[in-house]
Amino acid sequence: MMAQRPLAGVRVIEIEALGPVPFCAMMLADLGAEIVQIRRPGKPALIAVPPERDAVQRGRVAVALDLKTEAGRAALQPYLASADLLIEGFRPGVMERLGLGPETLRAAHPRLIYGRMTGFGQSGPLAARAGHDLTYLALTGALHAIGRAGERPVPPLNLVADYGGGAMVLAVGVLAALVQRGVSGQGCVVDAAMIDGASLLMTPCYAMLANQVWADQRGVNLLDGGAPFYDTYETADGRYVAVAALEPQFFAVLANTLALDPALARRQYDRQSWPALRAALTAIFRSAPRDHWAALFEPLDACVAPVLTLQEAALHPHNVARGVHVRDVHGVRPAAAPRFTK
């Protein structure tokens, strides 16, 4: 492993917020950045988990400052003087009203990279509106596409807009700005919006839609549970297995292992055969417990895996061997990613 993490020496000011901003700060901290989180004094924690027990809050120093006061803003100045990045998650205009907008700060600190995280972006008719992950997903087409055919859309936790389209896009943006600053010597403003990032994640679906290999309906396509060879199945003990045998070579292993009717197995991509194939797979997987199927398919390239709980995932042999999770006094949490070698 690298003796020094890639962002060692990079200094970040994180203005306390919910969702994507602290997650982005966590990733930057994992990469070696020095994070100073500015918290509002006397305000209860923004989340149900106390900060000292919240894995997302790792890797930073917290400082309580009331930025609504001159004293609080004055106390922020020494941190700004040495900062490379500032990230904040207020609605548009809030930082400007505090006298801490990007134009003001970058006039005094031209190398500062100013990362802004909002739901709807800094401009547009909805820019000032409140929302949450599900709100933004609803307006991107992503939520429409997730769920069973004929049933209502299903919230995909808050992984898509908050973290995938929000925190990770913000992280990519500020890291790209760091690279650009190395050339120009100047910082910039990074405008990251969850509605933009969630839409970006839908690019493959839009590409398939444009090429008429994706229907603009829920639960009828290859990757949304519409295909019987890319879905989950209940097992005899009420648990589940995930089947992702998309390519013919993987489906052939699946079919041979389960002794599927050869005539049915030959028609993998014939949509007319999908109801019969789904019925056959449903009956087979219900005939034995989940762990029976897990053991049977573990040595095979059939893209079949047990659906694990959070606690089970931390104990899976591959995850243990690779160190995917970390255990400390507060419990189990996912380890930092990605990994770096010399």
Paired tokens of 299: 């040595």
Q: Give the contacts of 85 (CB within 8 A, at least 6 positions apart).
A: 10, 11, 12, 13, 28, 33, 112, 113, 114, 115, 174, 178
165 near 197, Cβ under 8 Å?
yes
Concerning whether 132 is annotated as a catalytic residue, the answer is yes
**Rounded distance between C-alpha atoms, residue 320 and residue 317, angstroms:** 5
Concerning whether 318 is annotated as a catalytic residue, the answer is no
Q: Please name the residue that has the structure tokens 């901290």.
A: 29
Catalytic residue from among 84, 133, 162, 196: 162
The CA dihedral of 160, 163, 167, 170, to the nearest 10 degrees, is -10
**Rounded distance between C-alpha atoms, residue 278 and residue 229, angstroms:** 8
Catalytic residue from among 30, 54, 132, 144: 132
Q: How far apart are the first and last CA of the chain?
A: 6
Active site residue ranges: 132, 162
